[in-house]
Each structure stands twice: as structure tokens, then as C-alpha cells.
Structure 1
Amino acid sequence: MKKRAICNRTLTCSDQELLELSRYLLTLNSQVGVDDINGRVIQQDFFDVAQYLPKESIDLLIMDPPYNLSKNYNGHLFKEKEKGAYQDWFLSVLELVKPLLKTTATIYVCSDWKTSIIIAPLLEQEFYVRSRVAWEREKGRGSKSNWKNNTEDIWFCTVTDKYIFNVDAVKQKRKVIAPYRHKDGQPKDWQEEEDGNFRLTYPSNIWTDISIPFWSMPENTDHPTQKPEKLIAKLILASSKPGDLVFDPFLGSGTTAVVAKKLDRSFAGIELNQEYCCWALKRLNLAEKDASIQGYVDGIFWERNTLSKRSK
């Protein structure tokens, strides 16, 4: 195990924890119902297990598949493919997951810009594409010969024209730079608070308020492509109701499952790597005692690096 600084809060599992937690992982070899997978982490390859999952059961699908990049996922290597080969691979995922979706389901697919070019036509072929969200990764690497790439995409799709979008649940609280007032002196579409003047704003498809998990954050793990809890919280709150089934076929270190649990949704996820699965289970156990999500306080999403008094 890596030797870490005392203040490093990255979540890990000891050998004993891995042994104990692995006993709670689910494997499937026959058809199951929703109750059989609800609240469970399934340690298998999605391609092997998809046939056993309940049809038309998923309310919200959050997919963070391997991008078309060569990446080492804790010993499981995913190699960059030719465009056509990656499209074939991605389409095979969509074909397996599509029968699992309710007609009212929403789909979010994470991607980088290069992979987006490849998968966009396939998403349009299989679903209704509503929007593409671009969110800022403030850890983007610099480049001397190109523009610094510090954004990633999330494709917002639905199965039909009937879907959920809870806009009031994902408004962002922003400081008011020019606090206009009515003729009677009252604030116009903003509120005076002890910490300043604020307005709840409608969410756009450009997100600049996301912090990538890093070593001082308790949600951080050693997963190479971990998504922030705040990012996933926006997707879940916008496109599901309490009790709805949120499903992630590439669960990684468990962020989708953890956030779904914190927000009172049902969940299930699949992950091939056993250590990642155990990290997810440990995070789920910790969520029973602490349901907080950094940057989301009292039902409000705050701008990056700002806090309400209750969160300090």
C-alpha cells in the first residue's frame, strides 16, 4: 500500500477490509428482478451480466465508460481503438443496456471531446439527444502546441419525449454582482443574506463549479477517472425522483451508487475490478453516517470555492 502524508484523506482498503467487503459483492448467473439488485454492487463484466438484468427497470442510467484512450484501470487495460472499432464496442454497450430502460428513462453518458465525436452519431441513432453538458476539469494539463484541454462532456439523452427534468432541484446559488432593486427598494430577483447578495440561477450546459476529487477530500480514491460527487448529484437530482432506480454499468469506485444513496434513490452498479468494488462498498457504508456532498448544502448548489455558513 502507498505511504501517504498524514493529511491525505484518500479512501483505501486494507487487505482485511478487501477480504471482508468482497463477501458482499454480487455475481449473477441467472435472471433476476429489481429487488435482487437494488442497493448492490455487482462484480462482473457488464457484457457477461447484462442478459440477467431486469428489463425496463432503470429510471436513470449514468454511464462513464472507458473513453477511447489507453488507460490502466488497476491492472485491467483498455487500449485506444480505431474509430470504427470503438464505435462497434460502444454500440454493443447501448444495445445491451437499451432493453433495461423504462420508456421514461434518462441517459447521461460521460465522454472526452475526442470520444464525443465518435459516439454522438450512435447516441442520436438510439436515443433522443437533448443537450451536451461541458464541465470544467480544473486539473487539465497545459500544452505548448495546443489549447489546454480542461473540459469533459456529458451527453443528456432520453428514451422518449416523456422524461423528468427537475430544474428547481439543480439551480445554482451565485453572488449578485449588480444587485438591482425595485422602485420600493426591495431586491429584484435576489436575496440579501449575511454572507452577501445571492440569486438562484437556472442551470446551463456549461458547468464551472465542479472540483475534481483530490487527496484532501474524503471522497477521493485512487481510481484514475473518478467523477466528483457534486457532478453526479446534479444528474441524479435533475433526472430522477426519490426511490427511482439509478444504474451505472461502469461503476468504478462507486460515485454514482454513493450519491444515489445519499439522495434517497435506489441504485445498482456493475464493476469488473474487485478492489474498485470494495472501495465502493466502503464508501456506501460511510454514506450511512455522512450524507453530505461537497458544494451542495441545504438543497443548494454553490459556486466552486464558496461555502454557506452551515457548511463551514
Structure 2
Amino acid sequence: MSKSPRNKTIDFSLADAPAGVLDRILHENDQLEDRNVVVDQTINGDAFKVLTRLPDQLADLAIVDPPYNLNKQYDGLNFKKMSDANYQAYTQRWVDALLPRLKPQASLYVFADWQTSIALAPVLERNFTIQNRITWQREKGRGALTNWKNGMEDIWFLTRSPHDYTFNVDQVKQRRQVIAPYRVDGQARDWEETANGRFRDTMPSNFWDDISIPYWSMPENTGHPTQKPEKLLAKVILASSNPGDLILDPFAGAGSSLVTAKKLGRHFIGIEQSLLYTAWGEYRLQQTSTGDSIQGYTDGVFWERNTLAAQHRHQKSNQTKLF
């Protein structure tokens, strides 16, 4: 069945991969010890094997989205739910492989659902400084008759050093519409009145309610079952790295973190076990240039959900001022 013209989902088969995509991918048996070979590349292979072959103290930031402790299928590869003790051992294995690849001032973000977090937390605390636990309200989730719908995920913000790490708070402010404007002597207080509405740029919190999961009409959407949004990854990357830094993702999926890193002027290395998902990510990278837009991130701030029209008006207004 053919897709709707508005359906932008990337889900081609390996047999139908665009020219040049598969040739660009590195594999776990390739030469991976040379930094010049692996930077800005996707690597198809087992993360536990590939990580140990990468150079030491390579990454400024790691983004880790491992399989949650659930029964889940990824391109024919089955991940089976474990006991908490076994999942903790699994987590410690990737931590041990990843740690030597991180610089002393590096940060790390680890994704989990609430059940997986219970097992994760003790392992993360033993190996890193836990700076915060972010709650992402992703909205989508199956309804339940005997429990609350699971519409949240955890994102653990970790650092190697308790105090020496990057955090660019001014890069991740959120623009909110002002409903009840407050004035002092007739002047706006902590908000701005524009031709497109009243807005306030607020300090970021650990509750993220402005990010939707990718859907079929978005160019970033793929057939990956647990894809993270570019907007979410942009918050992580802007906050905890600087232009030119290197982002390492050992469970890269369809390449969302790598694409976002490239758009934001960072270097990257991605590892993914599925060749199909790696191909989708590599295709996206080939379509991406530094400076390309990220939906929901405009004018250097993150906008609330359902404000795309306001963002377009704002961009148009700024372009008009230049001429």
C-alpha cells in the first residue's frame, strides 16, 4: 500500500536503501581505534564490543537510550524482561564499557521508563554523580483499566565530576505564552509584548511538557518503535555540550541524537546493532546540514506544544526586519 503524500516516515528496507547509504556505514570489525576514522560516523555492531575498541576519553557527552527492562522487539531482535538484579548487571556492563570513553568533565543522559528506573538508579549512583532526574511528559501511551496510563519517561542527568561539567542554562530556556500579564508602572515585568503575542522566556525545569513524540507527518519520523524526538535531544545537547564537542550514543537507534548533534554543530559517534536502523540514521544524516531546523526550537528557545503557527510568524517577522 502506498503512503499518503503527507506521510514522511522513513522506513525503507535494506534492499531499497538509497544509493550510498550502506557504503557509508562502519562495522564492528572495521578499524575503530583511530579517532579520525570513527568521528562523525555510524557504526553497525554490538555496543559492548564496539565501545571497547574506541579511543579513550573521546566524548564530551553521552546519550544512552538502552532497551528498557521490558519485553520488546527491535527489528527482529528480542529483548526479554529480566529480574532487577540481572538488569542491573546488564547496565553495569555497558557502564564499564562506556566510562573509559568519556572525558573527566563529561555528562551523561540515560533514558528509562519508571519501572526500569527503579533498577537503574543504584547502578547509576555507584558510577556517576546524579545531578537530576528529568520527567518527560510524552503523552502517548496505552490506556489501562486497572492503572494510570503511563505517559511519562525518566531521563537521568549524570556527570563524571560532581562540580566540573558543562551546563548552558541560557541555551535551553522555554518560551511560554503569557496569559495574565503583570506590569509595573505600565511596563511589562519579565515578559515581552510582540506583534505575535506576549511571551516569557523561562528557566528550564526538570519537567518537560513541551515535547511530543515524532509522528507520521514529521520529516524526522522513522519506523523505529521507541524513537526519541529531535527537540528533546536538542535540549540535552545544547545544555551539556558546546559547539565542536563530541556526542557518543551507544544505542543510537535510527540516529536521532546524531542528526540533532550535526544540526547543532557537534561531532558524533553512533553505535547501533540493527543494520536497518543504522541505515535509516545514515540516510537522515546525509539529508542533514549544520544549522538545519529542529521542530519546536526557534529563535534560540524552546516553544510550547501547538505553537508552530506562532513560531512561523516570529520567523517571518524577523526576516522582514532584515530587509
Q: Smaller-chain TM-score range?
A: over 0.9
- Structure 1 residue 65, shift from structure 2 partner: 0.2
Worse-matched range after superposition: 227-236 or 75-84 = 75-84
Q: Percent identity?
A: 50
Question: In structure 2, how many angstroms separate the alpha carbons of the residues matched to 1:31 and 1:247?
Answer: 14
Equivalent residue number for residue 301 of structure 2? 300
Equivalent residue number for residue 286 of structure 1? 287
Equivalent residue number for residue 181 of structure 1? 183
Equivalent residue number for residue 21 of structure 1? 21
What amino acid is aligned across from residue 177 of structure 2 in structure 1?
K
After TM superposition, the score normalised by the length of structure 1 is: 0.96
Contact 1:31 1:51 in 2 (8 A): no
Worse-matched range after superposition: 256-265 or 80-89 = 80-89
Two-structure CA RMSD over aligned residues (Å): 1.5
Equivalent residue number for residue 262 of structure 1? 263
What amino acid is aligned across from residue 11 of structure 1 in structure 2?
I
SS class of match (1:52): coil
Identify the match of residue 170 of structure 2 among 157, 168, 171: 168
Question: In structure 2, how many angstroms separate the alpha carbons of the residues matched to 1:305 and 1:21?
Answer: 34
Question: In structure 1, how many angstroms separate the alpha carbons of the residues matched to 2:82 and 2:19?
Answer: 35
Q: Deviations over 1:105-150 (max 9, x none)?
A: 0000000000000000110000000000000111122111111110
Contact 1:72 1:78 in 2 (8 A): yes
- Structure 1 residue 31, shift from structure 2 partner: 5.4
SS class of match (1:200): strand
1:93 aligned onto 2:94? yes
The equivalences for 1:186-197 within 5 A come to 186-197=187-198
Q: Deviations over 1:172-195 (max 9, x none)?
A: 000112211122x21111100112
1:8 aligned onto 2:7? yes
Give structure 2 stretches of 5+ with no counterpart: 317-323
What amino acid is aligned across from residue 172 of structure 1 in structure 2?
Q
Worse-matched range after superposition: 153-162 or 20-29 = 20-29
SS class of match (2:237): helix
What amino acid is aligned across from residue 211 of structure 2 in structure 1?
I
After TM superposition, the score normalised by the length of structure 2 is: 0.92
- Structure 1 residue 27, shift from structure 2 partner: 2.1
User: Aligned in 2, Cα 1:87/1:72: closer, same or farther, shift over 3 Å?
Assistant: same
User: Aligned in 2, Cα 1:25/1:300: closer, same or farther, shift over 3 Å?
Assistant: same
Question: In structure 2, how many angstroms separate the alpha carbons of the residues matched to 1:9 and 1:311?
Answer: 23
The equivalences for 1:72-87 within 5 A come to 72-87=73-88
- Structure 1 residue 22, shift from structure 2 partner: 1.2
Question: In structure 2, how many angstroms separate the alpha carbons of the residues matched to 1:190 and 1:290?
Answer: 28
Contact 1:60 1:240 in 2 (8 A): yes
SS class of match (1:294): coil
Moved runs in structure 1, 4+ residues, more than 6 A? none
Question: In structure 1, how many angstroms separate the alpha carbons of the residues matched to 2:115 and 2:19?
Answer: 39
Contact 2:138 2:213 in 1 (8 A): yes
Question: In structure 2, how many angstroms separate the alpha carbons of the residues matched to 1:56 and 1:179?
Answer: 49
Contact 1:41 1:268 in 2 (8 A): yes
Contact 1:64 1:111 in 2 (8 A): yes
Contact 1:18 1:278 in 2 (8 A): no
- Structure 1 residue 34, shift from structure 2 partner: 2.3
Contact 1:166 1:237 in 2 (8 A): yes
Worse-matched range after superposition: 121-130 or 141-150 = 141-150
- Structure 1 residue 83, shift from structure 2 partner: 1.1
SS class of match (2:17): helix
Q: Deviations over 1:53-101 (max 9, x none)?
A: 0101110000000000011101111111111111111110101101111
Question: In structure 1, how many angstroms separate the alpha carbons of the residues matched to 2:275 and 2:88?
Answer: 27
Contact 1:169 1:299 in 2 (8 A): yes
The equivalences for 1:103-114 within 5 A come to 103-114=104-115
Q: Deviations over 1:164-216 (max 9, x none)?
A: 10000000000112211122x21111100112111100011001000110111
> What is the count of residue pairs matched by the alignment?
310
Equivalent residue number for residue 144 of structure 2? 143
